[in-house]
Amino acid sequence: MEKQAFILENAMKQVVDSLVQKNGEEQRDRITRGVSQVASFWKETDGTGDEFAAYCRNNYISDKDQLDKVFQRISTNMEVILGYFNKISADLQRPLHLDMGDILSVDESFGSYSPVTHFKDDFFNNKIAFLIALNFPHYSLEEKTRLSSSWSRKDWAYARLGDLFDSRIPSEVNQQVVNSLTKSDMYIADYNVFAGELLNNAGKTLFPPDMKLLSHWNIRDEIKSNYGNAEGLEKQRLLYEVMKRIITQEIPSQVINSPVYTWNPVTNKVFDDRNEIVATPEPSVRYAMILDYFHAQQKVDPYYQGLNTYLLRSFEKDMEVPLADLENLFTTYLSSPEMGKIAGVIRNRLGRDLEPFDIWYDGFKTRTSIPAETLDKVTRKKYPNPEAVQQDLPNILVKLGFNRDKALSIASKVQVDPARGSGHAWGAETREQKSLLRTRISADGMDYKGYNIAVHEFGHNVEQTISLHNVDYYLLHGVPNTAFTETLAFLFQKNDLALLGITGNNAMQEYYNNLDNAWGLYEIMGVSLVDIGIWKWLYANPGANPESLKEAVNNIAKDIWNRYYAPVLGMKDQPILAIYSHMVNSPLYLPNYAYGHIIEFQLTDYLKDKDFASEVERMYSLGRLTPQQWMKDAVGSSISVQPIINTINDALLKIVETH
């Protein structure tokens, strides 16, 4: 239910009319927008109706020069506040995110604390939020889209200031959201499967005894890495069974993050020194975590007019892409006949019928002809510790085309830390601080999987640095949504072998790389639709329990598989699209990856005949416009899947001609 406004429509109109009479009819639209937003936030505890009217009359700024001075002062102060809030959060979560030994209960408590939870409360209480809403009002996505072509950079910065106060959520509600995410993040960060303890039906182990795979990332990447190995198919089939047990929560609790027992995921039997023990399936923890976050977001819902579900906020507010537009992009691509054509190429290259895990087919890449052990040897020697990664950051940028001075400048603003999980990038929010590259490095050095992820995360750091330090207005810093930072991360990651000095001699590699990216997009779009489907189901079934949610998620995943994947891969009712851990600890983040790949294709096509480094600097200095406006300014066209489909057809034609 929407909250009932304390300030009534008639009282608000009287204030608007009095301000228009004083400042001129030409300011009516701005006055109406500002006063109405202040009225929507004003509560009885903020003052009487007369005090509301007096506040608006006394604090409305009509003079443009004075308005700009106030904006600059607020901008400077916001950088201080948001920057140090960000640093506090990053530092308090160090024991949770970094390889610092056992996590203490007090670490969990501090990690759950967020200084930003009281930010809006404080700023409404001291009425600075009202000052901003009155003079720098918030615009909806529809309004930004309609007005953006006529806006100056300063207009955009003013609008982004207004976005800071588009709701008034109590701090205790914000804290519940933070607590839920922290709990699920900890659950996922320690969700490892010891591959060396997995048994096939013959009772044999297939993986190195010390191999520890974080779900889902490392399990997926281990499947990918085995396309170049003689025993790869059996390993892939075994890992696929592991994934299915995780999705259905049939995985024995005894084998989660523990090397004590051996486990056959096909039969789901657990052994202690080859003697079978009674195993206990993991309770539906995975789905309880999702439900907990859903309930936290339900508490947020009433505080957003027009955006009263987490689904709407995730797309209209955070991504600034209408959900219907996004789904149309995804389903257009997933339904295109080109997917079947790529599958045919993969089938011919494998010499067998496709299996469900072939949505992660990795055989188009150069590295799939190189054994994983060889790549591990290279990366472990090059990066034995975090210090070695830190020292090599400028060299990575130089290899990507940045001049030495620029490379040193960007790298100096990034700090490398050893991660407990798979690693992540954490951007700075003030120019006085560094972005963080948290990457996983074992005692014997960084393996190839860790390196591949680290290169991806470093791409985030480069975006975070450029879009903070190069943007003309602090309140425009960043990118339209996380899909755009994922794009640069993807562009970095695809060069991982070249950065190691490993290059292929295949003149056709560019075309195979395009098919590889297109196939990866095919996979992640389906995963994204599952994530979206889960949240549609949750709002349609708010009384769900973990068991009913588990059943629904499996059905949603199978339904999307049957619609878009079964016709291409040839088997029905596969739940594999529900494996991604993001659905638990980063709900509705996955569509950013798919959207990012769409953008990546357009940027890659645009950058083909241009200087990579200088164009990356130019584009990521545009800051946080809406996605469509950013793309128009960056490459001169709107966001579309058609460039991808054209690229696929060009690649397929060239490959057919060659063979």
Asked if residues 224 and 363 have their Cβ atoms less than 8 Å apart, the reply is: no
Asked if residues 546 and 291 have their Cβ atoms less than 8 Å apart, the reply is: yes
Question: What pLDDT, on the 0 to 100 scale, is given for residue 659?
Answer: 65
Of 178 and 504, more confident = 178
Share of the chain above pLDDT 70, in %: 98
Q: How far is CA 121 from CA 44, 165, 279, in A?
A: 15, 10, 49
Q: What's the length of the chain? A: 659
Question: What pLDDT, on the 0 to 100 scale, is given for residue 2?
Answer: 46
Closest CA to 276 of 266, 294, 292, 262: 262
**Which amino acid does the sequence have at 432?**
E
What digits encode the pLDDT tens for the residues 378-401?
Answer: 999 999 999 999 999 999 999 999
Measure the CA–CA gap between 217 and 197, rounded to whole angstroms: 18
pTM: 0.82
Measure the CA–CA gap between 284 and 545, rounded to whole angstroms: 10
Residue whose token pair is 């957003």: 304
- Range 98-104, long-range pairs (CB < 8 A, 24+ positions): 98/417, 98/418, 98/419, 98/420, 98/438, 99/418, 99/419, 99/420, 99/440, 99/441, 100/420, 103/186
pLDDT at 365 over 80: no
Q: Which of 79-88, 153-162, 289-298, 498-507 has the lowest mean pLDDT?
A: 498-507
Structure tokens at 355: 């299996």
Closest CA to 608 of 501, 497, 513: 513
Q: How far is CA 295 from CA 95, 286, 301, 433, in A?
A: 27, 15, 10, 35
pLDDT at 274 over 80: no
Question: What pLDDT, on the 0 to 100 scale, is given for residue 264?
Answer: 97
Share of the chain above pLDDT 90, in %: 81
Q: How far is CA 323 from CA 216, 317, 522, in A?
A: 26, 11, 18
Mean pLDDT of 439-446: 91
pLDDT at 279 over 90: yes
With H, G, I as helix, E, B as strand and everything else as coil, classify residue 419.
strand
Measure the CA–CA gap between 329 and 323, rounded to whole angstroms: 10
Mean pLDDT of 514-538: 96
Asked if residues 145 and 626 have their Cβ atoms less than 8 Å apart, the reply is: yes
pLDDT at 335 over 90: yes
Measure the CA–CA gap between 404 and 395, rounded to whole angstroms: 8
4: pLDDT confidence band, cut at 50, 70 and 90?
Answer: low
* DSSP code at position 43: -
Measure the CA–CA gap between 314 and 536, rounded to whole angstroms: 12
Structure tokens at 577: 């699209």
What digits encode the pLDDT tens for the residues 187-226?
Answer: 999 999 999 999 999 999 999 999 999 999 999 999 999 9
Structure tokens at 476: 């425009």
What digits encode the pLDDT tens for the residues 211-269?
Answer: 999 999 999 999 999 997 888 999 999 999 999 999 999 999 999 999 999 999 999 99
Question: What pLDDT, on the 0 to 100 scale, is given for residue 367?
Answer: 53
Closest CA to 630 of 165, 149, 164: 149
What are the start-end ranges of the H helices in 5-63?
9-23, 28-41, 49-59
55: pLDDT confidence band, cut at 50, 70 and 90?
Answer: very high
Question: What pLDDT, on the 0 to 100 scale, is given for residue 422?
Answer: 81
Question: What pLDDT, on the 0 to 100 scale, is given for residue 658?
Answer: 75
pLDDT at 114 over 90: no
Q: How far is CA 486 from CA 310, 416, 589, in A?
A: 22, 19, 11
Measure the CA–CA gap between 528 and 107, rounded to whole angstroms: 32
What digits encode the pLDDT tens for the residues 567-594?
Answer: 999 999 999 999 999 999 999 999 998 9
First-residue to last-residue Cα distance in the chain? 62
pLDDT at 368 over 60: no
Question: What pLDDT, on the 0 to 100 scale, is given for residue 1?
Answer: 42
Write the DSSP assignment of 370-398 as a string of letters. S-HHHHHHHHHHH-SSHHHHHHHHHHHHH
Q: How far is CA 59 from CA 14, 51, 105, 251, in A?
A: 16, 12, 47, 61
Closest CA to 413 of 440, 436, 441, 434: 434
- Beta-carbon contacts of 75 under 8 Å, excluding residues fewer than 6 positions away, are 157, 161, 473, 474, 475
